[in-house]
Structures are given as structure tokens and as C-alpha cells.
Structure 1
Amino acid sequence: AVKLKPGYLDAHELLGEAYYRDNDILSARTQWEYVLQVDPNRKQLKERYDKACREEVVESSFNKTVSQSRHFNLTYPKEVTYQIRSYVLSVLERAYLEIGRKLGGVFPSGPIQVILYDTQQFGAVVQMGQSVGGVYDGKIRIPVMNEKGEGLSDEEIKRRIYHEYVHVVVFELLKDKVPWWVNEGLAETFSKEFSSREKTMLEQFINSKGLIPYNNLEKISIKDMFASETKMSQAYLQSHATINMLWSKYGQGRFLNFIQALKRSENVEDALRNVYHLDYAGLSKGVLQSIQR
């Protein structure tokens, strides 16, 4: 498309995205610079371009002879040890199989790009605050070392990998049609237990402010995430409790039907109603009952 229509901006933007996903940031920037020179009003692309520039600065010293497994390419700073890299690749391959099977046999074609950081490098790239344990933006980005240069525990690295890999599969299934509470609730449910501590914290939030309306949890922006740490904490806990309840009470088959209903429907509550015979009020009631047991 680019060769046939060299002035076609959407094609150049998409080509840049393809280079970006292949971890060729320089080529991606070249395409996006051209688009922004012609049409500087593409705000989302400008944000992507600025982020790519930050990545290029931080990751310029990373090992470009990447470690590889069957489905993943790993890029990392020299401080990340072979032991950590080997463990990360083995966990990624386990996640590829386990989560793919749970979500109906979805196995994205690879290689999937994964970039490891220390905490400071990760913060410089994503600019989302220290509470964020990983990001999927077309690439999986995970800090595996703390600010002292020490590797995180195997358990914590595994949790972060499983959480972000769920986002990879969900994007494969639903692209941008996935509600935030489904996306994050599923990532939480498949990466860790809904613990008694989390249950107590959610009960305290509910006793103080009630459940967050699910309409408000369908779309959450980066700005929303940092407006109130307390609200975001409740949003994650509530989403985790909700997906945990749907999955454990109604089973895998019903949930996969829900995913398909979300694909077809423009309204999340309609999809919920069609599969679970619940509206948002009924869902709220079910979640409250599940955490009060």
C-alpha cells in the first residue's frame, strides 16, 4: 500500500506500527515523523511517537542480540542475568500454553516482543508511576529488577508475566472492544488468587463508597488511573472479584460465550445479559454475595 500510494498517511502509520511491533523503533519513528509532518493533528500518534522516542533513549544500550524462545523475543539491559532471562522465557512459554487453552485455544502468531527493565528504566519509558507492574502496548514490558539492581522474586516475575500475557490474548480476541473491567479482571484472575486480604480491602471500599458502577469501568484512561490511587485500587479489586465470580460460578464455557458476545455487541451490558442473564444491577448483586460468603 505504501509503494502504491506513498502519500497515503494511514498506510505509513500502519507500517510504522508494524515496525514498532517488530521492535524496529528507528524505522517506526521514520514513518510516524512523515505522517506527523503532513498531519500534525494526529494526537494519539504524537503520543505514540513521543513514547517511542523515550524507549529509544532508554533502550539504546540494551542487548540487541535478543534471547529467543519459540514464541517470544526478549530484549533486556546488560544487568539482567542469564538466570532471570531463562526463567522469564520459560514462564512466558507456560503462559502461552495455559492462558491460550483457558481462553479457547488462542495462540497468537509470534514472535511476541518482550522487553525487560529495571524499575527506573521502566518508569522512564512508560511514565505511569511505581505502582504499575507491567504494560502491554503491542509489546510486553516488565520491570524485573528493583531500584537497587536486585532481581524480583520468581513469584512476582511470574505474576507480572501472566498478567500482561492475558492482555496479549484478550487483544487477539477482542482488539479494542474489550471493557476495562473484563481485561484487567481477567488478567488479575489468571495471575493470582483473589486473596482474603483483597476481599477484606474490597469490603472496606464497598462499606465506605459502594461498588463502582460498571458503566464507569468499561473505559478507563491513563488520566483516570492517576487521578485517585484509592479509586484505582478499588477498580482493580472489583474487576478481579467480578471475573473471579463469573469464572468460578458459571465456568469456562459460559465465559468464552461472553467473549464471543462482546465481539458481536456494541453494548457490554447487552452481551452480559445475553450470556449470563444478568444486567449490571444483577452483576453487582452477584459480586456482593460472592465476597460476603
Structure 2
Amino acid sequence: PAAGSRYTQLAPVLLASAGYAPYFQTTVTPHFAVRAMDKDAIVAAYAVTVLEAAYRRIGQDLGFLPAERGEPIVVEIYPDARGLAGATGLSLKEIETSGTIAVCKFHRLMITSPLATADGYAWADTLAHEFVHLIVSKRTHNNIPIWLHEGIAKYFESRWKSNAGEALSPYGEKLLATAVAKDSLITFKQMHPSMAKLPSQDDAALAFAEVFTVVEHIVKEHGVGAIADILRRVGQGQSLEAAMDATLHLRLDQLESTWRRALRRRNFRRVPDARPEKVRLADAPGDASAAPALEEMADKQVHDWARLGELLQLRHRPKAAIVEYEKALAAAGTRYATLVNLLARAYIEVDKMDKAEALLARSLTQHPEDSDAHLLAGRIALKRDQWEAARGHYEAVRLQNPFNPEIHAALAQLY
């Protein structure tokens, strides 16, 4: 084939994917074929329920069911970032630099195994997020701007398990509140053609939070059917401007103005020291039940106190460890999740359950996706016969890091 042809471009991707094919085991559902290998069979077993719920609920909300002609949607769980890179055509450096953990491409949803990360990630919501991208791509023939694509995906990613519109993080709200106060919101024009080209990571994070609230605003003012109608009209060949005008009776600039006014009236959640939730790739697969390593801390004194506490705890001296951890906590607050969790573990060791429970509750408002905090809170709730609370915490861990045998034993007891 001629250089630069479609085949030449896709050949490396095809070869990389083919290298995994003999090792994948496939689980087939009415609408999906989920491929996984080795321990990721655990993720695949849970993923089928997530995917079928997403198909039914999100597909109905957006007015499009993309696998009704008998062709299942392929879902591939790759054991590491290198596998995802090869299957998507991205370079390993691009994957690691951008923090990409999943991609929707070639009528496939491709994710990295939670086992390839330092402490898991929201793999179920991520699958739902990529499924929304697939719906939007197929419904509109890829004819809507990336900012709206991402806004719809983020807004609807929680729909598989509950209501849409539950995915705005404390950090996202913090960025929005600051931008509104300073009148420094990023415009739709600045987000086009790529949000990845914004000047900083904080700008990109702000843009993602903004587009979530744009979709939220449309749904609140015009109903969820408005999103489905816009997608249908664009898929039929209308421009986004024309589709917006027909559905919302607003031009795009008018939508941006009404959304900005609504955002200025919003009562933002204020979570002190909220930080971005970042997926950290692991250097090598580790023990899913082990406590994560102490994270990097900007304040050297805080780090030194925390590190000394960690060393004391490893030497089975929890009371002495608590003294050092509490010094670090007094200086840093609940900003560092691993510090909080190490202190909570030490409290549990010396039977100070009330202190551990209160500390974890504070931390989870700031780090709602912290699987280690949920695990510790689940242990406390289970010990206190608080069945509903325990189920909630252990389920949160399962949807982040399903490889820990403790959560399966606990959930078997709780159900």
C-alpha cells in the first residue's frame, strides 16, 4: 500500500492489538464483547453489569442505542499503559504525560487495568464515560466540537448507577468558584478545536468543569431530551448552531451568556484544599490490599513528620506514629490522602475508632474517590454493624480497585 494510506496508518495498531488477541478471554453480553486477560477477568465480570446498565439508561436518555444491528461493542481491558498505547495509536509518552486511562475508538471502548495504577481508579464510571463518547460520535458522525463531546460524556457518566450530573468533583467546583469570582472563565472559542491545547493543566481542568455545567444548564432549563434532540439534528446534517437554535431557541453565543449568568448565581460547594484526583500509573503490579506509598508533599517538615510516623508504624509502634502524624495533620490538614489514611490506620490499631471515623469522613468530602479511605471506613462500619454504610464504602472500593480479596469477603457477608 502507498505510504500514508489508511492501512499504513493503522498497521501498527492492528499488529499491537493482534499481539494481545491470543491471551484475551471474552465475555459476551447482549450488546458487548468484553475482552480481558489474567486477573482482569475480575474487572470483566463486574463490567458486564456496568455496561448493560449504561447501554440501557444512557442510550435511552440520549435517544440512540448503538448495538441494535447485532454487532456487539468491543470492550478491551489492557494490562498496562503500553497495551493501551499500542491499541489506540497513541505513544506511551502521550499516555503517561496526559494521564490517559481510556479511549473510545474503532467502535471499541479501551481501558487500562486498575491493577496497572498505584491505587486503582474509577474504572466503572470511565467505561460509562467512554460509552457516552461512542454514542455521541455515532449519533452525530463526529460533527460536534470536542468541548460539547466532553461535557455530555462527563455529565452522563454517572447515569449507569444513579442520576446523571453527579460527576463534578470538589476540585472542579473550586476552580469554577474561583473563575467566576475573578471573571476568568474560559470561553467556548478558547476550548476549540482542542481542550488539550489550553495553556495549563488547571485551565484544562477548569474547562472540563465548565462544560459539565453547560450540559447541566441545558438539562435543567430544557430537559434531558434537549441533548438527545441536538445530537439527532446534528446527525441529520444540521450545524450545531442550527440544532441549538431549533431545540433551545438560542444561538451558541446566547447559550454561553445564559450559562454564565446561571453560574454566577450558583451556590458552590466549598471544600478547603480540594485537589485534583489524578490516576497514578504503577511502576509494577503490586499488592492490591497494601497501603499506598506516601505521596509527595510540598512542605518538607510535613513530609518529615509523616515519614517518621510511617517508619514508626512499620515498626509496630502506632502510638508513637500517631504523635508524628498528628503534627503533620495539624500543619497540612486533610490535603494529603495518604497521610490521612496512615493516621486513620494507626487510630484503628489503638482502638480509637471514633477518631478514625471522623477523620475519614472529613477526608472523603475532599477526596471522594479515595479507595483506601473507603476501605478503612468500611472496616469501621462493618465492625460497628453499620451494614448500609459498610456496603456503600466497600462498593466504592470495588468500583475503584476490585482486586482486594477483603472487599469480596466483606460484601459476601453484607449481602
TM-score interval w.r.t. the shorter chain?
A: 0.7 to 0.9
Residue 210 in structure 1 maps to residue 191 in structure 2: no
* Partner residue, 2:194: 220
- Is the CA contact (8 Å cut-off) linking 1:104 and 1:256 kept in structure 2? yes
3-state SS of paired residue (1:248):
helix
Give the AA of the match of 1:201.
Answer: L
Q: CA shift at 1:269, angstroms?
A: 2.3
The corresponding residue for 1:229 is 201
Report the Cα offset of residue 177 of structure 1: 1.3
Task: For residues 142-183 of structure 1, give each alpha carbon's deviation from its aligned partner in whole angstroms, at most 9, with x where no partner exists.
Answer: 123243687x36xx1221011011112122311121321221
Matched with 2:172 is 198
Unaligned runs of 5+ in 1: 1-36
Out of 115, 124, 131, the position equivalent to 2:85 is: 124
Q: Which residue is 2:38 aligned to?
A: 78
Q: Which has the larger radius of gyration?
A: 2
**C-alpha separation between the residues in 2 aligned to 1:79 and 1:263?**
40
- Comparing 255-264 with 136-145, greater Cα deviation is found at 255-264
Q: Superposition RMSD on alpha carbons, in Å?
A: 2.8
Answer yes or no: is the 8 Å Cα contact 1:95–1:165 preserved in 2. Answer: yes
Instruction: Give 2:10's aligned amino acid.
Output: R
Aligned to 1:142: 111
CA drift of 1:55 comes to: 3.1
Q: Does 1:55 align with 2:14?
A: no
Offset, 1:77: 2.5
Aligned to 2:3: 40
**Corresponding residue number in structure 2 for 1:171:** 137
CA spacing shift, 1:263–1:72, aligned 2, 3 Å: closer
CA contact (8 A) 1:75 1:115 kept: yes
- The aligned residue for residue 316 of structure 2 is none
Query: Secondary structure of 2:40's match?
Result: coil
Structure-2 change in CA distance of 1:265 and 1:98 (3 Å)? same
1:41 and 1:284 map into 2 onto residues whose CA distance is 40
Equivalent residues of 1:166, 1:187 under 8 A apart: yes
Q: Report what 1:106 is aligned to.
A: 65
If asked which structure has higher relative contact order (CA below 8 Å, sep 6+), I would say 2
Q: Secondary structure at the match of 1:211?
A: coil
CA distance in 2, matches of 1:290, 1:270: 23
Aligned to 2:227: 255
Specify the alignment match of 2:395 in structure 1: none
Measured at CA, do residues 148 and 285 of structure 1 come closer, stay the same or move farther in structure 2, by a change above 3 Å?
A: closer
Secondary structure of 1:80's partner?
helix
Distance 1:148 1:187 in 2: 23
Distance 1:197 1:134, change over 3 A: same
The secondary structure found in structure 2 opposite 1:269 is: helix
Number of the residue aligned with 1:34: none
Structure 2 residue 57 is the aligned partner of structure 1 residue 88: no
Structure 2 residue aligned with 1:277: 249
Question: In the superposition, relative to structure 1, how do residues 264 and 120 fare at CA in structure 2: closer, same or farther (>3 Å)?
Answer: closer
Unpaired stretches in structure 2, ≥5 consecutive residues: 159-165, 267-415
Equivalent residues of 2:85, 2:95 under 8 A apart = no
3-state SS, counterpart of residue 212 of structure 1: coil
TM norm structure 2: 0.53
**Structure-2 residue corresponding to 1:26:** none
Give secondary structure in 2 for the equivalent of 1:116. strand
CA separation of 1:255/1:123 partners in 2, compared to 1, >3 Å: closer, same or farther? closer
Q: Shift in Å at residue 206 of structure 1? A: 5.3
2:193 and 2:141 map into 1 onto residues whose CA distance is: 14
Letter in 1 for 2:144: V
Question: Residues 203, 148 of structure 1: CA spacing in aligned structure 2 closer, same or farther, 3 A cutoff?
Answer: closer
Q: What is the CA distance between 1:93 and its match in structure 2?
A: 0.8
CA–CA separation in structure 1 for the residues paired with 2:146 and 2:53: 25
- 2:101 corresponds in structure 1 to 133
Give the whole-Å Cα distance in 1 for the aligned partners of 2:218 and 2:4.
42
Deviations 1:228-264 (A, max 9, x none): 4334323322221111111122102222222233234
Alignment partners' CA distance in 2, 1:122 and 1:227: 29
Show the 5 A alignment for 1:241-252. 241-252=213-224
In percent, how many aligned pairs have the same letter? 18
Preserved contact between residue 214 and residue 280 of structure 1 (Cα < 8 Å): no
2: CA distance between counterparts of 1:229 and 1:122?
Answer: 25
Q: Could you tell me how far apart the structure 1 residues matched to 2:203 and 2:95 are?
A: 15
Whether the aligned pair in 2 keeps the contact of 1:211 and 1:284 (CA below 8 Å) is: no
> Do the aligned residues in 2 keep the contact of 1:76 with 1:115 (CA within 8 Å)?
yes
Q: Which amino acid aligns with 1:219?
A: P
Alpha-carbon spacing, 1:267–1:56, altered in 2? closer, same or farther (3 Å):
same
Q: Residues 230 and 240 of structure 2 are in contact (CA less than 8 Å); yes or no, is this contact kept in structure 1?
A: no
Letter in 2 for 1:284: E
